[in-house]
Amino acid sequence: MNQKDFGLRLKELRLSQALTQSQLSKMIGVSRQAYVNYESGRTIPPAQTLSKLSQIFGTDLMEFLYGHTTRTYTEGQHLMSGSNREDLFSLLELYSKLSPLSKKRIINLITLLAKGGDT
């Protein structure tokens, strides 16, 4: 997920619920300008705000972020349960604070590890 894609996804979901930017910003407890920055792809919301948004749109976090789920329901439940959920939110919050170059490096590292590069 890059910031622009996230912003487009957020706008799509907001419009599907017939909400204005002002209405949604009030619902999640941020200024309208902060929300505009999310939707324009300038910034990614912190983990707690992502959680609020996914609840408002009635979707799980992975579906909210990516527009679809890439795991089975059981795997998703495990990923989003207990400490895993907290870890994921913490990672997303840290990731959102990285520079574009650092984000690219993290994605490359995760891709390498997923392909078995750690063996």
Q: Which pLDDT score is estimated for 20? A: 96
Q: Which pLDDT score is estimated for 74? A: 45
Q: Which pLDDT score is estimated for 38? A: 94
Q: Could you tell me the CA-to-CA distances from 118 to 31, 79, 90 in Å, in that order?
A: 43, 21, 23
Q: How far apart are CA 48 and CA 54, in angstroms?
A: 10
Which amino acid does the sequence have at 30?
V
Residue whose C-alpha is closest to residue 11's, from 35, 33, 34: 35
Q: How many CB atoms lie within 10 A of CB 80?
A: 15
Q: Which pLDDT score is estimated for 60? A: 75
**What are the residues whose beta carbons fall under 8 Å from the beta carbon of 63, sequence distance 6 or more?**
54, 69
* 68 DSSP 8-state letter: S
Q: How many CB atoms lie within 10 A of CB 3?
A: 17
Residue whose C-alpha is closest to residue 6's, from 82, 96, 90, 115: 96
Q: Could you tell me the CA-to-CA distances from 64 to 41, 90, 112, 117, 119 in Å, in that order?
A: 15, 17, 25, 29, 32
Q: Which pLDDT score is estimated for 14? A: 92
Note down pLDDT in tens along the chain; length 119 residues.
677 888 888 998 899 999 999 999 999 999 999 999 999 989 988 888 988 998 898 887 777 776 654 444 444 444 455 556 677 777 877 888 888 888 888 888 887 887 776 55
Q: How far apart are CA 11 and CA 8, in angstroms?
A: 5
pTM for the structure as a whole:
0.57
Q: Which pLDDT score is estimated for 35? A: 96
